[in-house]
Amino acid sequence: MSLIFERIHTDGIAELSYLIGDDSEGVAAVFDPRADIDCYLQLAREKQVAITHIFETHIHADFVSGARELCARAGSAKIFLSHEGDARYSFDHEKIADGDSFQFGSVLVTVRHAPGHTPELVAYLLAEVHHPDAPWGVLTGDSLFVSSAGRPDLLGNGQEKKLAEQLFHTLRDFYLKLADGVIIYPAHGHGSPCGANIGDRLSSTIGYERSFNAFLQLDDMTSFTAYALSTAPPEPVYYPRMKKLNTQGPVVLGNLPPVRGLPPTFFQQALEDDENVLIDTRTLLAFGGGHIKGALNIGGEPMLSIWAGWLLDPDKSILLVVESDEKLNEIIRLFLRTGYTRFVGYLVGGMAAWDSAGLPLESVGQMTVHEIRSAGEKLQLLDVRAPDEWKDGHIPNARHIFLGELRQQLGKLDKTKPTAVYCDSGYRASIATSILKQEGFGCVYNVPGSWQAWERAKFPVKKEIGDMG
């Protein structure tokens, strides 16, 4: 007999879900599953257990919950959801509340209400059945992260201060009363916008966080609230949509959405429909070398999930250009995680087929950091990184517009001036250059390597007065 404890790390959305079970009884539970649920079914088969329970810590705002999909495909599983804070749902589930407990072999899972990020959020204490009062771990959801805590500002409507107060008490009256050796297992890692500056490690201990987590060093409500609200990263525009979708219950698909293969001439005809949007998922250099006019370049890396959420209208259908036909399903999974299931089709044979058909191409120039420095003020230099990245240092003469807000702030830029765009590595910069091309900017350049290349070249770095704080 042995404990089964598996953490599933979903890059891009930086989500952490868990499968916990017991191989002697052949049962397991999944906590906070993502939309593409095959990984949980595969793990269950490998461990020779049946998934009988599906738990959520809260109503997620940053990704599509896979609870209903997993419930439908796992067979006898049930979904367990918190009704704390008057949360309600529009699909079948079992209600859980503070103090409820569940046994999986030798593991006892106890529900604890931990509001602050959201009103209904619950954590799950993990203990041995014979030592229920001495938990060894806690699944914290989005309440306590490594080096951070859940942001309390997502509900809006003036509820920010109330949630910050709840978070303050959750951290002090629940987490800080646990023993130092208790391991914390959060629902997100570094890179998630659900918390400020989440640490690189995927787990920690109460003792370590007690000593080093800035959210746990503030002992008065006023300073805590100010810190929690001022450090939150920009809120992705798709968060309210995700929360609504997860409350209603995502449609059970049964598999990945079907995507038709379209040869170049049919693909070109589909481009004429204004209800379709063209997404090129190739690398920035491939896109820069030649792409279809009007394409938005969101590279086929895990971050696609987040930037699709930021930039795409969910009511439009997607036309895809992929690096190769074999990568199609991988790309579809990335879209699925933030709720995109409507696909007109993909370009069969990729850009090689488009080229062979003699169809028109556009390109984006590439500029090295050395060329950027030499150009000086003759160039309109745009930094599209997040505000905290900009504050840490930027290229002299650059102007800052966060990528998620670029379309709304295009009026700050001169369309007639040559424009080069950089981010941290070039990925987001390529998205931005494709937006500028769509909006009629004539001379646009991407900066491969971007900020990383600038720093490694040891070129000058500028910080504005007040950016040090």
In sign, the C-alpha dihedral spanning 402, 229, 146, 3 is negative
Q: For residue 176, report the phi and psi dihedrals to the nearest 5 degrees.
A: -70, -10
Q: For residue 123, report the phi and psi dihedrals to the nearest 5 degrees.
A: -105, 165
Query: Which one, of 68, 90, 57, 120, lies nearest residue 244 by Cα?
Result: 90
Query: What are residue 280's DSSP bridge partners?
Result: 297, 321
Type of residue at 20: I
Question: Distance between CA 404 and CA 415 in Å, rounded?
Answer: 19
In sign, the C-alpha dihedral spanning 163, 168, 174, 178 is positive
Of these residues, 71, 194, 423, 443, which one is catalytic? Answer: 423
What are the CA-CA distances from residue 371 to residues 368, 451, 454 (Å)?
5, 14, 11
Query: Which one, of 88, 86, 84, lies nearest residue 99 by Cα?
Result: 84
Query: Which one, of 101, 134, 116, 250, lies nearest residue 194 by Cα?
Result: 116
Query: Which one, of 337, 277, 279, 298, lies nearest residue 32 by Cα?
Result: 337
In sign, the C-alpha dihedral spanning 315, 264, 433, 417 is negative
Question: Distance between CA 326 and CA 160 in Å, rounded?
Answer: 45
Rg over alpha carbons for the chain, rounded to the nearest Å, is: 24
Establish whether 423 is a catalytic residue: yes
- Alpha helices of 213-327 — where are they, by DSSP H? 221-230, 239-248, 264-271, 284-289, 304-311
> Edge-to-edge strand order for the sheet containing 27-31?
3-10, 15-22, 27-31, 50-55, 78-82, 94-96
Q: Which residues are catalytic?
A: 423
